[in-house]
Amino acid sequence: MRTYALYLVRRFAQFILVVFIGINIAYLITHLTPVDPVEQAISSVTMFGQSSPEMVEVMRKTLRELYGLEGSAWEQYVSFWRRMATGDFGPSLSAFPTPVSTLIWQALPWTLGLLVSSTLIAWIVGNFLGGLAGYYRKNSLLKALGILAMSLQPIPYYIVAFILLVVFGFLWPVLPISGGAEMNIDRQGFAFAASIVKHSILPALSLVLVGLGAWFIGMRSLVSNIVTEDYVTYAELGGVDRRRILFSYVMRNALSPQLTGLALSLGAIFNGAIITEFVFGYPGMGTLLVRAVNAGDYSLVLGITSVSIIAVASAILVIDIIYPLLDPRVARS
């Protein structure tokens, strides 16, 4: 147990370091952007008429102050971390003065709900079917599934998304194709929840179909390697119950690498969602990020990036923490 505690401490320190470095890189990149939000705002004001240069200069100074851009680069950097420590990302520049954190908090539940559920569904179903297909190599239904998975897997998810849009939005219009929920209903209760689920079916399906193929193929090849391992042959020779062999011997041993993959794809949720959310007009982080980039709103970009860095790192941390419980060999090394 002591080794495990030590492992936890070490792993947590690693987590802090990764988050720190990641946010620093994001900070650097967003502040090196040639798009100046102050000039962006001034040009949108001056677009409709002449202003005197003195007025523009006053406006520029006021905006720099409001956006927190005065002082040397070092002072800006220090004040950024001071604010970060309290969870404050500053005001959004494009939706001034709404705080970045408010915008993120509004978008985050949508993205998390859509992506966590579709990633988990794809992972569970894909691995289960892939495991069966690797173990029962001769089953023709599972063989057909393998061919289907293999043909779906290389298709980019946004192509699948467009096909789904055409099929279920145009040819057979049964599902809503845009938005997170109906606008004109009470934002509470069963009807609202049902509306959310209904709106999420198409975007989720586009992600699940593609993700499932990848998990299926990965698990199938892992399992077909593991069935030739000595301990599986030995268990078969020992007349161990076939279902026990499939789950406790074959799938359990194939699970460890797949869990790492799950952590990584949970982490990749934020960029994976961007196009899907955009295609389906889903009110999540992806749509928010695209808007922020277009507006040169780098405090919002930095806020979203920081949240996703923390999310990726925590997902991997959580997986690493439960890994030793699944594979006792990890905690030792």
Partner 1 sequence: MNARPRANGAADVMLDVKNLRAYYVMQYFGTQREVRAVDDISLQVGRNEIYGLAGESSSGKTTFIKTIAAAIRPPLTVIGGSIRYSFLDRDIYKLDRVALSAIRWRYLSYIPQGSMNVLNPVRRVRESFIDFALPHMGLPKQQFFAAIIAHLERLQLTPGVLDAYPHELSGGMRQRIAIALATVCRPDFIIADEPTTALDVVVQKSVLELIREAQREIGSSMIFVTHDMAVHANISDRLGIMYAGRLVEEAPTAEIFRSPKHPYTQHLIASLPRIGDLSAKRALTGAPPSLAEPPSGCRFHPRCPLAMDICRETHPELVSIDPRHRVACHAVSPAVGPDRVFAAAAKQRTGLVQ
Residue ranges binding partner 1 (CB under 8 A): 229-231, 233-242, 244, 248-249, 252-253, 326-329, 332
Based on CB atoms, which residue is closest to partner 1, 171 or 237? 237
Based on CB atoms, which residue is closest to partner 1, 63 or 235? 235
Least CB distance to partner 1 at residue 7 (A): 16
Total Cβ atoms within 10 A of residue 50: 8
Please, which residues have CB within 8 angstroms of residue 38's CB and are 6 or more apart in sequence?
Answer: 60, 63, 64, 67, 69
From CA 201, how far away is CA 179, in angstroms rounded?
12
Question: With contact defined as beta carbons under 8 Å apart, do 208 and 272 qualify?
Answer: no
Least CB distance to partner 1 at residue 233 (A): 7
Q: How far apart are the first and last CA of the chain?
A: 14
Q: Where are the alpha helices (DSSP H) in 136-280?
A: 140-152, 157-165, 189-226, 230-237, 242-244, 252-267, 269-279
Based on CB atoms, which residue is closest to partner 1, 65 or 236? 236
Based on CB atoms, which residue is closest to partner 1, 252 or 291? 252
Based on CB atoms, which residue is closest to partner 1, 27 or 249? 249
Least CB distance to partner 1 at residue 234 (A): 5
From CA 246, how far away is CA 265, in angstroms rounded?
26
Least CB distance to partner 1 at residue 132 (A): 18
